[in-house]
Chains A and B, each alone.
Chain A
Amino acid sequence: MYCLEAFELFHRYSNHDVVLDGINMRVPEGSIYGFLGPNGAGKTTTLRLLLGLLRCQQGSISIFGRGFERHRIEILEHVGSMIESPSSYDHLDATENLAILQRVYRCPKQRIAEVLAQVGLAATQRKKVRQFSLGMKQRLGIAMALLHRPKLLILDEPTNGLDANGMVEIRQLLVRLSREDGITILLSSHLLAEIEKLVTHVGVIGRGRMVYEGTLADLRQQQQPSMSLSVRTSNDRRALEVLSGLGVLATTVADGLALPMMPDGHVANLNRHLLQAGIDVYAIGTRGYDLESIYLDMVGSAA
């Protein structure tokens, strides 16, 4: 069962630049879905379309099994969001900012104190938002998104501006919300490492196209065949000749040599031959195993 489904989203800005080119997205219910992509790939545009902040030019969006265009208000009753920078009123304090939403959503007043405590802003009291740091504003934005206990939370780069502790706290909060309250969370980031430990599913966007969508485990599995060995030596040109003599197909890459994967015994033998040829071996490792390089390969190939 999917909480959010988007089909063939296409978007072109007025300068005719195509920003999204046939985006399909399926966010399973109860998942934490990481929407990854480099800056300018189309993440925010996609999220803005999903929330109705941009007019849908082509394609369709369905949230909670209902078409967004026709059921916008009913859907938004159960969606919390924070897109780009937080939207809070600088001349009001945190409680007053939340009180605006509390009146609109008609949720109990005590929720204000609850969400402020959840995001670590309980002690701000009468401090105006204009006096908040970027991190505090970010926390307030998350509190505003959580106030009405949404079923779906859409957060655009939610840890922007947070210090290391703040990032960990927000990640823990999101995991808790997902596990304990069953909230589906869709969050975007341009850094895989930032959300790797948090998400259950990922969607990778590059140049307006979805290049991967699935679970993290599937992503690792899918990329295993494309892994290779990485060798760094004191003389890569000479090493290439030695390897060629051994029948190993090696290529020169930016940071050394890339070789096909092989059993451990073969690696040891190859190392021995290089040493015997008077070539110092600085490092032997695997390429493409860590998620970051998989991700970089994906968005790189989309470019």
Chain B
Amino acid sequence: MITFVRAFKGEWLKTRHSLAGWLVLCGSLFTPLAIIVARLVHHRRLEPIYSAEDFWPHLWQDAWQSMAIFFLPLFAIMVTSLITQIEHRNNAWKQVHTLPLGLGAIFVSKLGVIMLLIVQFFVLFNLGIWLSAIIPYQLTAAVPYPQGAIPFGDFLRDNARYFVDCLPIIAVQYLLGLRFRNFLVPLGVGFLMWIGALAALPWKFGYLIPYTYSMLDYLKHDPGKAFIPTIDTHLFALGYAVAFIMAAYVLFRAMKERG
């Protein structure tokens, strides 16, 4: 555990001045910012929206639309590729492998950094949703404070579900990122899988594609746009994540040349 903490601290430092922070910021706040701008432009129509009892669930649902379909899968693809590329780009794997760290600690600490960036992404996105409600209220005189209590329990549960939904994407991208030096491989495969997932949404076996889960999770509220399976897709997501992470670790250990 101590070794993991040492390794994690080092790995976290590597993200400084990298694109990771910007990716988190832009990816998580884009949708809330778009909502704020849209609401300020159409401020005359806000009064009934803010007075509605289901204001928060409605806003939550609106905000997650672009997030579940676009930003979350794409963020998971890009941030995972970015973190694994840091070593490839700087020719630094050989440095990492000559540190007094076990292979497990190296593998898990890097994955831990990716997870933490995803958590940051979720936290900022949640904060952004709250701001997208509050800022129009603050700036527009006729708009009342949002009615109804914030359903924290529901939001937390949804966050947890979407987090599980993106785990298989992280696992596949992590495997590819560790394996291939050329960043085009993990990014290219990631984008192709994402497009494939979009195309496979109406297919009854679309849920077998590990990049579809956040989309299916969102679209279960709008079943006309996708075939929603009756099985629990979160279990599939977890199963895929575990399988791909294990495969990534086996391949990582089996590398004949380290750096």
A52 in contact with B98 given A89-B14, A91-B17, A92-B14 (CB within 8 Å) = yes
CB atoms of A89 and B100 under 8 A apart = no
Return chain B residues, CB-CB under 8 Å to A73.
Answer: 100-102
Return chain A residues, CB-CB under 8 Å to B16.
Answer: 91-92, 96
Complex Cα distance, B49 from A166, in Å, reads: 70
| Interface members, chain B 51-89 (any A CB < 8 Å) | 86, 89
Return chain B residues, CB-CB under 8 Å to A77.
Answer: 100
CB atoms of A104 and B7 under 8 A apart = yes
Q: Is B91 an interface residue (CB 8 A)?
A: yes
CB atoms of B13 and A54 under 8 A apart = no
Return chain A residues, CB-CB under 8 Å to B7.
Answer: 104
Q: How far is the CB of A74 from chain B (nearest CB, A)?
A: 7
A104 in contact with B99 given A87-B94, A89-B14, A91-B17 (CB within 8 Å) = yes
Complex Cα distance, B259 from A53, in Å, reads: 7
Return chain B residues, CB-CB under 8 Å to A287.
Answer: none
CB atoms of A104 and B6 under 8 A apart = yes
Complex Cα distance, B94 from A48, in Å, reads: 9
Specify the chain A residue showing the minimal Cβ separation from B89: A90
CB atoms of B91 and A99 under 8 A apart = no
Return chain B residues, CB-CB under 8 Å to A54.
Answer: 256-258
A74 in contact with B17 given A53-B258, A54-B256 (CB within 8 Å) = no
Q: Is A179 an interface residue (CB 8 A)?
A: no
Complex Cα distance, B10 from A131, in Å, reads: 22
Return chain A residues, CB-CB under 8 Å to B90.
Answer: 87-90
A104 in contact with B17 given A54-B258, A55-B256, A87-B92 (CB within 8 Å) = no
User: Which of B's residues lie within 8 Å of A, judged by CB?
Assistant: 6-7, 9-10, 13-14, 16-18, 86, 89-95, 97-102, 256-259
User: Which of A's residues lie within 8 Å of B, judged by CB?
Assistant: 14, 48, 51-55, 73-74, 76-77, 79, 81, 83-85, 87-92, 96, 99-101, 103-106, 128, 144
